[in-house]
Amino acid sequence: MHIGQTIFAQLMHFIPAHEFHRCVDRYRGDYKVSTFPCWDQFLCMAFAQLTGRESLRDIETGLRAMGSKLYHAGWRGHIARSNLADANETRDYRIYADLAQVMIATARPLYAQEDFGVELAQTVYALDATTLDLCRALFPWARYRAQNAAVKMHTLLDLRGSLPAYIDVKPAKIHEIHTLDELLPEPGSFYVMDRAYLDFQRLYNLHRERAFFVTRAKSNLKFKRRCSYDVDKITGVQCDQIIMLTTHYPAQKYPEPLRRIRFNDPQRQKRLVFLTNNFELPAETIAQLYKARWHIEQFFKWIKQHLRIKSFFGISENAVKVQIWTAISAYLLIAIMKKELRLQQSLYTILQVLSMSLFEKMPILQAFSQQYAPVHVQQIYKQLSLFD
């Protein structure tokens, strides 16, 4: 990193410029644009995510206060909320969706050896969706129920490093189950899901692609037990069975055996029943895999608390998706920087340090090395003592 650059400019070096411009050219984002290109739009949205801006006016005021530092941080166009609002409304959100995919491909190898609580060589994914509530009067295109609107962020999370491998943003009225139709299963990988994704036809498609799934069974599941394995009930596993479905339509959609595991969770005082097509792993490991699914809940909680995806800068579908995708890119940017610079701080701590020092001119590592630097207080020896 160059010493004379701001921390914000150094941070943007982790984004491959040539890949960004390829994304822009793919959707003609800068066609007939002369004063506020897509790069400036992305810098404004990244600044909003990293510093917690609440509105377009907030972004404009914060950036204009930086004065001449903006040019050295990468901006070339005129900063105005009208320019940013128009860009969010008109420029294809897929520019930033594709950029996020590029950053995902960069980040995932950096976290390939991360531990997620289960000793397993295969890749493990958690599939879930989170709802982002909207005002129906302002966002009529996202109508959900009679009185409100919402969008859902469907996410496939790689549990090694808690990095999204797939994200899609759709109106909330579209059920989560349809996400399984869009995935390209990886043979040998595990897909951990809750009961919202229990569809035997789609699970059988995963099975035929030689991928493994772990999900929860519903209470009305009808089956015939073929055999049972011995279990150690001290571990929480109450039964480990091989079953066949007996209800007509489920049996037609999934005609092969399934493994059924009943587990008592002592922490939640709850009985859980798992279904999987993996017959090799110990039953305790299957239960641990489902427990690791909570990493995706923590991911949703983190980005909702620390990034700006709950209040939006525009009301069109395109503007909402631009903001969500730039928020995901900001998350990935911090994750990539953490590994590339070998920082020991958490993502939350890194974000807080960046938010306070983005336009400081110092090496980026210095900003984090100063976090725990001792404060030396100069003592004034000529000061008389108040009390003897």
Is residue 112, in this structure, part of any structural domain at all? no
Among 280, 295, 327, the domain boundary falls at 280
Res. 341: pLDDT tops 50? yes
Is residue 154, in this structure, part of any structural domain at all? no
Number of structural domains, the chain? 2
Residue span of the structural domain in which 269 resides? 207-280
Is residue 293, in this structure, part of any structural domain at all? no
HSE, side-chain direction, 13 A CA sphere, residue 134: 27
Is residue 114, in this structure, part of any structural domain at all? no
Is residue 125, in this structure, part of any structural domain at all? no
Look up the CATH number of the domain holding residue 240. Answer: 2.20.25
Q: For residue 373, what is the DSSP state? A: P
If asked whether residues 15 and 89 sit together in one domain, one would say yes
243 strand-pairing partners? 225, 258
Is residue 86, in this structure, part of any structural domain at all? yes
Is residue 108, in this structure, part of any structural domain at all? no
| pLDDT at 267 (0 to 100) | 77
| pLDDT at 375 (0 to 100) | 46
Res. 84: pLDDT tops 80? yes
If asked whether residues 42 and 91 sit together in one domain, one would say yes
Over residues 54-70, the pLDDT tens digits come to: 999 999 999 988 888 88
Categorize the per-residue pLDDT at 319 as very low, low, confident or very high, splitting at 50, 70 and 90.
Answer: very high
Res. 342: pLDDT tops 60? yes
> Sheet harboring 163-171: ordered strands across?
163-171, 149-158, 124-134, 190-192, 212-216, 270-276, 258-265, 237-245, 223-229
Is residue 200, in this structure, part of any structural domain at all? no
Q: Which among 259, 277, 155, 274 has a CA at the least distance from the CA of 204?
A: 277
| pLDDT at 388 (0 to 100) | 54
pTM for the full predicted model: 0.88
